[in-house]
């Protein structure tokens, strides 16, 4: 093979590599930011709801306060990441505050006052709010109740 032919073959090969690299580069996607699904956020809310019941039941007001904050952040995430949802007839920006803002406020007041009776009432109102929203959202079959057992075996819910 003479040098001219070799040079031609090499430059064609180089061009081919450049074209492939260009096409591949164009096809590359920018990594997508992780957006938690509504079902995923709800599963976290379920855990916090259960922990809140236990904390309040044991007059562990520090933990109850913490779980109420976590729940509230979860509600904010629902609205932030899913202002609307294809299967839900009304916007979540409307439904979430409508069903949970009142109970969350009452929970905060009960925890602040370290008042078990008020806490119980506010917790039941929160549970009713969860279920009211599920009904309004056409997810009535996801029925939430006051937990009947601790949600996890590896956490001490007593005040410390």
Distances 90 to 21, 48, 87 between C-alpha atoms, Å: 47, 25, 9
144 binds ligand HEC (CB under 6 A): yes
Long-range Cβ contact pairs of 32-37 (< 8 A, separation 24 or more)? 35/81, 36/77, 36/81
Q: Which of 46, 72, 93, 116 binds ligand HEC (CB under 6 A)?
A: 46
What CA–CA distance (Å, rounded) separates 158 from 89?
A: 41
Q: Which of 49, 53, 56, 110 binds ligand HEC (CB under 6 A)?
A: 49
Per CB under 6 A, the segment of 41-49, 57-65, 113-121, 149-157 that binds ligand HEC is 41-49
Write the interaction track for ligand HEC spanning residues 77-106; mark x where CB under 6 A is met and - where it is not.
--------x--x---x--xx--xx------
Distances 51 to 1, 22, 63, 148 between C-alpha atoms, Å: 79, 53, 9, 11
Q: Of 119, 118, 120, 144, which is closest to residue 131 (Cα–Cα)?
A: 144
Q: Of 33, 34, 101, which is closest to residue 68 (Cα–Cα)?
A: 101
In whole angstroms, the minimum distance from the beta carbon of 105 to ligand HEC comes to 14
The residue among 2 and 86 lying less far from ligand HEC, judged by its C-beta, is: 86
51 binds ligand HEC (CB under 6 A): no
In whole angstroms, the minimum distance from the beta carbon of 53 to ligand HEC comes to 10
The residue among 46 and 116 lying less far from ligand HEC, judged by its C-beta, is: 46
DSSP secondary structure letter of residue 52: H
Give me the residues that bind ligand HEC (CB under 6 A), please. 38-39, 42-43, 45-46, 49, 71, 85, 88, 92, 95-96, 99-100, 126, 129-130, 133-134, 137, 139, 142, 144
């Amino acid at each position: 093979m003479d040098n001219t032919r070799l040079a031609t073959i090499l430059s064609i090969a180089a061009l081919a590599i450049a074209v492939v690299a260009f096409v591949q580069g164009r096809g590359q996607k920018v990594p997508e930011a992780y957006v938690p699904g509504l079902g995923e956020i709800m599963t976290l809310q379920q855990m916090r709801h259960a922990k809140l019941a236990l904390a309040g039941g044991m007059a562990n007001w520090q933990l109850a306060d913490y779980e109420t904050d976590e729940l509230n952040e979860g509600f904010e995430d629902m609205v932030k990441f899913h202002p609307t949802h294809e299967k839900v007839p009304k916007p979540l920006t409307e439904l979430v505050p409508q069903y949970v803002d009142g109970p969350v406020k009452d929970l905060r007041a009960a925890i602040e006052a370290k008042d078990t009776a008020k806490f119980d009432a506010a917790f039941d109102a929160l549970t009713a709010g969860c279920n009211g929203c599920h009904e309004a959202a056409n997810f009535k079959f996801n029925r939430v109740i006051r937990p009947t057992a601790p949600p996890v075996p590896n956490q001490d819910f007593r005040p410390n």
